[in-house]
Amino acid sequence: MPANTLSFHLKELMNADLISQERSGRNLIYRAQYDRMNAVLAYLSQNCCQGQACEVSPEALCKTC
């Protein structure tokens, strides 16, 4: 993945508070915020899937399959 693409996605994840960043010398260390990610998944499961399992069939993904 190109560095500028990765930087863009990491910045967006940080803005959403789904990851944290720590500087160690010249390196940046990114860590997942699992409690926040689990909260997003719980919200989506409850409000988008009406509490049902969110399963997608291969046929739904590929219209020409």
Letter string b/e over residues 6-16, b meaning 16 or more CB atoms within 10 A of that residue's CB: eeeeeeebeee
- Residue extents of the structural domains in the chain: 3-54
Q: pLDDT tens for residues 51-63?
A: 676 666 666 656 5
Q: pLDDT tens for residues 19-51?
A: 999 999 999 999 999 999 999 988 888 887 776
pLDDT at residue number 48: 79
d(Cα 11, Cα 19) in Å, to the nearest integer?
A: 9
pLDDT at residue number 56: 65
H-assigned helices in the chain: 3-15, 34-48, 58-61
pLDDT at residue number 37: 93
